[in-house]
Structure 1
Amino acid sequence: MAHYTELFPDDGRMCPNCWGFGRAAVTVGTRHDDGSHTIVFANCIGCNGLGWLPLQLIADAYNAAIARREVAA
């Protein structure tokens, strides 16, 4: 059995938009004929549902956030 750190490495590549939860299941409110809920899956637009990004993209997003914070202050 794989260890937790092998399945979810903490190497700083987590998506800053979804915090690692790249895909969400959302119930729409309608039901199927058998009574079960209709479910729609939504992917994060930043990582396309992966939950992680390459390190360079994370560094670019972090630097852009710092630049916006400095301009706003």
Structure 2
Amino acid sequence: MHFNSTRIIIDPTPRRADGEYMAHARISSCREDGSEYDIHSSGDLAGFEGREDAIAYAKNWAQEWLDARFG
């Protein structure tokens, strides 16, 4: 089962470091007043040659993190 909420935002934007893309995920949500707050930030998860690989890895990691806690 996958956690699903329209109020949860996953930002899987990788950072570039030492010639590779470092996957990480920022998980946040919006309050009713529209302000955003962080739920969790993963830190560096793994390095990849391809940007899209880093993004896919971070999205999957974040989904699993949410499932484990709220699923």
Q: Looking at CA atoms only, which structure, 1 or 2, has the larger radius of gyration?
A: 1
The two structures have a TM-score, normalised by structure 1, of: 0.29
Which protein has the bigger strand share?
2
**Structure showing greater relative contact order (alpha-carbon pairs closer than 8 Å, 6 or more residues apart):** 2
